[in-house]
Amino acid sequence: MKFLVFLMLVSASFAPAQPTPDLMASMQTIAQGLGVSCDYCHTAPRGSGQPEPKKDIARAMIAMTRELNQRVQTATGKPAPEAAKVECVTCHRGVAIPRQLPDILKATIREKGVAAAVAQYRELHKQYYGRQAYDFGEDTLLAIGQQLAAVKPDDAIAILALNTEFYPQSARSYAALGYAYTRKFDDDTAMKYLQKALEIEPENGVIQGQLEQLKSYHRKSGTR
């Protein structure tokens, strides 16, 4: 808000034309779409000629978005007022760099380890839950855990345990935990988690089958 007043003053004293209400409304929309304030892009005093790199990107994005809308209209054969509109928020969803949550977490696991990814998930959840920026649904961590289970069971276990914290009734997460423990040759813990999954979804044939398989393997190998 302070910045807006500042801009108005600056434009009043240096340039005869005030920014139009239309421009101001579209600036508000842009800022909201990216979840940033005005000075994220307007970093230099007006007329100073200093570089404003984010503003340059935004200018290109505005052109790109206009082009996308034209292409959407051509592709669908709908005139502008009928075609659903691509806007900044369509991609950005309230964040400046619109990455999907699984990509963010997988990159963190790769670069900094699973503990950092767990902390990051908690932080993002605190900041963004209930908004459209990221999908904090049951399947996000579940899918990452399932992908990691075969090769990096310890990482998978950390991710899946986190998911059961947010989704204590996620039978599929307990089943995936069970699978991850078999990859660590800890079949006792694996059976515990499969049983837990079955308590939640007693009719789940896939989980029943997994538990049966593990039990019969134990009977055959004589460890039980």
Residue 180 interacts with ligand HEC (CB under 6 A)?
Answer: no
Nearer to ligand HEC, 7 or 117 (CB): 7
Number of residues near ligand HEC (by CB under 6 A): 31
Give the span between the Cα atoms of 224 and 221, in whole angstroms: 8
Tokens of 197: 């999954």
- Please write down the long-range contacts of 194-199, taking CB distance under 8 Å and 24 or more positions apart: 197/171, 197/172, 198/171
Nearer to ligand HEC, 134 or 193 (CB): 134
Q: Are 50 and 44 in contact (CB under 8 A)?
A: yes
Give the span between the Cα atoms of 175 and 165, in whole angstroms: 15
Q: How far is the CB of 13 from ligand HEC (least distance, A)?
A: 13
Residue 94 interacts with ligand HEC (CB under 6 A)?
Answer: no
Mark 70-89 with x for binding to ligand HEC (rule: CB under 6 A) and - for no binding.
----------------x-x-
Place of tokens 């699984």: 102
Among 42, 105, 160, 174, binds ligand HEC (CB under 6 A): 42
Measured CA angle at 185 (ends 184, 187), to 5 deg = 115
Nearer to ligand HEC, 2 or 219 (CB): 2
Tokens of 135: 């999908």
Tokens of 210: 């997994």
* Residues near 189 by beta carbon (within 8 Å), at least 6 away in sequence: 181
**Stretch of residues binding ligand HEC (CB under 6 A), selected from 23-31, 74-82, 103-111, 143-151:** 23-31
Give the span between the Cα atoms of 132 and 134, in whole angstroms: 6
Residue 41 interacts with ligand HEC (CB under 6 A)?
Answer: yes
Among 14, 25, 59, 113, binds ligand HEC (CB under 6 A): 59
Q: Report the interface residues with ligand HEC, using CB under 6 A.
A: 4, 7, 19, 23, 27-28, 30-31, 34, 36, 38, 40-42, 46, 54-55, 57-59, 61-62, 65, 86, 88, 90-92, 96-98
